[in-house]
Chain A
Amino acid sequence: MLRRTGTWLAGLLAGVLVLVAQAGVGPLCTWGWYQPETPRALRK
């Protein structure tokens, strides 16, 4: 039960991070003065 909840939470967090990553790669740069390297999987 605990293990399944952990996996479910990890999946939820991963989903949020993927959405943030996709939002981050849309504009030319994010708001701040640091731009992380665009991941290969998100290079269109």
Chain B
Amino acid sequence: MPRMMLAARIADLLGDRLGLDPDRRDVLAYGVEILVSNLASLGAALAGAWLLGCLPEAAAFLLAVGLVRPWAGGAHCTSAARCALLTGVTVPLLARLAGELAPRAVLCGPWPLAAACGAALVVIWRLAPVASAARPFFGTGERLRFRRLARVAAAVAAVAVLTVWHLDPAGRGASLALAGAAGLLWEALVLSRPGHRLVGRVDRLLETLLGR
């Protein structure tokens, strides 16, 4: 997969100045890609959430995903720009939905929320970790290590979601807990085969509409 143009350019500038070989330049370009893609996605998600007036819910969603995803893996877009676009649309929409559903969810009690967390936990427990071609497993022990970490992280996130609900079900706790549960469900979805197909289709559609 070729590096993004900005990353290759910065790596070449630094490489020329410091006299680095191609392998070391590639490490620098990778570092730029990691920084730019994550900041762009985070920025897009928070900007969208700010526009929709659901920043705390978006933060809860991102915290739940951010806790599990580094160890569980899952589906990816094939460019940082499409990733930022997808994140900037899905996270604010799901966070807003959590905020809208919260008053009704309070009437149902904690059981639907617990069921949602339980369903996400079962999927993550069974499917994680899911590696990608860009970042495969290195060595046999790594898969087991990531499986353990993903399971622990998902359990911690689920307990945190239920605790937040328990602390303040009549106030903001309900919407924050729903947003956290939505993050866990979203992560469970992108681990599954249908989730990979969905992200792949959206990625191709955006590529068709917006170009590479």
A residues neighboring B (CB under 8 Å): 6-7, 10-11, 13-14, 16-21, 23-25, 27-44
A21 contacts which chain B residues (CB < 8 A)?
27-28, 30-31, 34
Identify which of B4, B11, B38, B71 contacts A32 (C-beta below 8 A). B38
Identify which of B4, B27, B146 contacts A39 (C-beta below 8 A). B27
Identify which of B18, B42, B134 contacts A36 (C-beta below 8 A). B134
Question: With A10-B18, A39-B27, A41-B24 known to touch, is A33 a contact of B83 (CB < 8 Å)?
Answer: yes
Name the prevailing secondary structure of the A interface residues.
helix
A14 to chain B, nearest CB (A): 5
Is the pair B26, A40 in contact by a Cβ cutoff of 8 Å?
yes
Stretch with Cβ within 8 A of A (4 or more), from B46-54, B72-80, B166-174: B72-80
Question: With A28-B146, A30-B34, A31-B42 known to touch, is A41 a contact of B71 (CB < 8 Å)?
Answer: no
